Amino acid sequence: MTEDDRLGRDWIVARMNSLGMSVVVDRIGNIFGVRPGLDPQLAPVMTGSHIDTVRSGGAYDGNLGVLAGLEVVATLDEAGIQTARSLVVAVFTNEEGARFAPDMMGSLVYVGGMDLDQALQTRAIDGEVLGQALQAIGYAGDAPLGLFRPDAFVELHIEQGPVLDMEGVKIGVVQNLQGISWQRVVIIGQSNHAGTTPMHLRHDSGYAASAIACFVRELARDMGGDQVATVGKVDLTPNLVNVIASRAELTVDLRNTDEALLKQAEVRLAEFLYKLSESEGVSIDSTSLARFEPVQFDTALADRIARHATLLGLSNRPMTSGAGHDAQMLARICPTAMIFVPSVKGISHNPAEFTEPDDLVAGANVLLATLYELAQRGN
């Protein structure tokens, strides 16, 4: 919802228009390009992803799924094919959630998992209000939420992890996606002189923030398996060399494929925060910014993707997604699955993010074959 986001959205809308698609923008700013099918009675097949990015992101995360969706439409146009079902290419608002939590917000609101007004009132980490930001870039649309009830949703995305690249496999067929727990932790201690305050008299918010970062690393190591844990953002006040920090605000990102284990990680963190507040004499408050249970994708749809990859001569393997995706929200309303392509060295949320052009094309071809087959089905 920045000026750059507007430029990206404008580019996509122009491309949809030039492909003869009708364009719909809903009340949370999701954009849908529609390519009509032969039978308006049949539910459409939907694909898409997001074009927003974390501030330090790369070019492929999200964009691949949207641009490949448009390329599928262009390819069908060139071949003179009109499918039985309509094809809808979706661009979901605020998938990243790094500025306005939670992540996958546009798709979450679309499927009825979050109240629209609550979403529009969300405040960014820089203070801006989401609804106003959406107005300012001209994408506060008027289409109702959940306008299309898809027959199926398929999202193509870069893996954002190292597995496909390391194994030399071309296509990941995503079976499931891990649960996500984001918390904001605010610590209030006492600001004091760094030189004169004896160590045992400190109520040091900076120290407490660092202790939390060390604890979650240790927690993930101790739990093992799929547990991951990150402190990605820390703000200290007053943030000066010779002043004990009075206030710290940090984020914790916990993820696991197993809901019971994710809950266990949350409980262990809460216990640690309690003990830390006692031992350091600081107050610690934590608020949930996002909480999503692990998601199982549709097995038949995943099998269909694997079959098309194999038919195209592309090596493929089942995968779990470590990242959150709009597909996990669409899975609440229709059969959903995802296609992954390799990320070189597994680098993502980093400007160095890269996928070989041939791998982008391979992923887009699997998307094309899968969408075409889905869109030709009757009821």
**Which positions touch Mn ion (CB under 5 A)?**
61-62
CB of 61 vs ligand GLV, minimal distance in Å: 7
Q: Per-residue b/e over 118-156, b at no fewer than 16 CB within 10 Å? A: ebbebebeeebebbebbeebebbbebeeeebebbbbbbb
359 binds, among ligand GLV, Mn ion, none (CB under 5 to 8 A by kind): none
Residue type, 104: M
Please give the size of the binding site for ligand GLV, defined by CB under 6 A: 5
- Reference 321, options 329, 313, 311; nearest CA is 329
Residues sharing a CB contact under 8 Å with residue 360, sequence separation 6 or more, in sequence order: 60, 64, 68, 341
Q: Which is nearer to Mn ion, 248 or 341 (CB)?
A: 341
CB of 52 vs ligand GLV, minimal distance in Å: 10
Residues sharing a CB contact under 8 Å with residue 199, sequence separation 6 or more, in sequence order: none
User: What is the distance between the alpha carbons of residues 33 and 50, in angstroms, rounded to a whole number?
Assistant: 13
Q: Which is nearer to ligand GLV, 60 or 372 (CB)?
A: 60
CB of 81 vs ligand GLV, minimal distance in Å: 33
CB of 324 vs ligand GLV, minimal distance in Å: 4
CB of 107 vs Mn ion, minimal distance in Å: 11
Q: Which is nearer to ligand GLV, 2 or 376 (CB)?
A: 2
Q: Which is nearer to ligand GLV, 156 or 374 (CB)?
A: 156
| 231 contributes a contact to ligand GLV by CB under 6 A | no
- Out of 33, 150, 206, 324, point to the residue binding ligand GLV (CB under 6 A): 324
Q: Which residue stretch of 95-103, 188-196, 226-234, 264-272 sits at the interface with ligand GLV (rule: CB under 6 A)? A: 95-103
CB of 119 vs ligand GLV, minimal distance in Å: 16
Question: Is the distance from CB of 333 to CB of 187 less than 8 angstroms?
Answer: no
CB of 239 vs ligand GLV, minimal distance in Å: 26
| 66 contributes a contact to ligand GLV by CB under 6 A | no
| 105 contributes a contact to ligand GLV by CB under 6 A | no
Q: Which is nearer to Mn ion, 62 or 342 (CB)?
A: 62
> Which token pair is 10?
């404008």
| 96 contributes a contact to ligand GLV by CB under 6 A | yes
Question: Is the distance from CB of 175 to CB of 320 less than 8 angstroms?
Answer: yes
103 binds, among Mn ion, ligand GLV, none (CB under 5 to 8 A by kind): ligand GLV
DSSP letter for 123, please. Answer: B
CB of 174 vs ligand GLV, minimal distance in Å: 13
Distance of CA 137 to the CA centre of its chain: 21
165 binds, among Mn ion, ligand GLV, none (CB under 5 to 8 A by kind): none
- Reference 284, options 294, 292, 293, 276; nearest CA is 276
- Out of 103, 165, 204, 353, point to the residue binding ligand GLV (CB under 6 A): 103
Q: Which is nearer to ligand GLV, 96 or 280 (CB)?
A: 96
Ranges of beta strands (E only) in the chain are 22-25, 31-35, 45-49, 87-91, 152-158, 171-177, 179-188, 192-193, 228-230, 234-237, 243-244, 247-256, 283-292, 295-296, 316-321, 336-341
User: What is the distance between the alpha carbons of residues 268 and 110, in angstroms, rounded to a whole number?
Assistant: 33
Instruction: Find residue 228's DSSP bridge partners.
Output: 255
Q: Which is nearer to ligand GLV, 106 or 324 (CB)?
A: 324
| 330 contributes a contact to ligand GLV by CB under 6 A | no
Q: Which is nearer to ligand GLV, 95 or 159 (CB)?
A: 95
| 323 contributes a contact to ligand GLV by CB under 6 A | yes
Question: Is the distance from CB of 254 to CB of 228 less than 8 angstroms?
Answer: yes
CB of 107 vs ligand GLV, minimal distance in Å: 11
User: What is the distance between the alpha carbons of residues 340 and 347, in angstroms, rounded to a whole number?
Assistant: 14
Contact residues: ligand GLV, CB under 6 A = 95-96, 103, 323-324
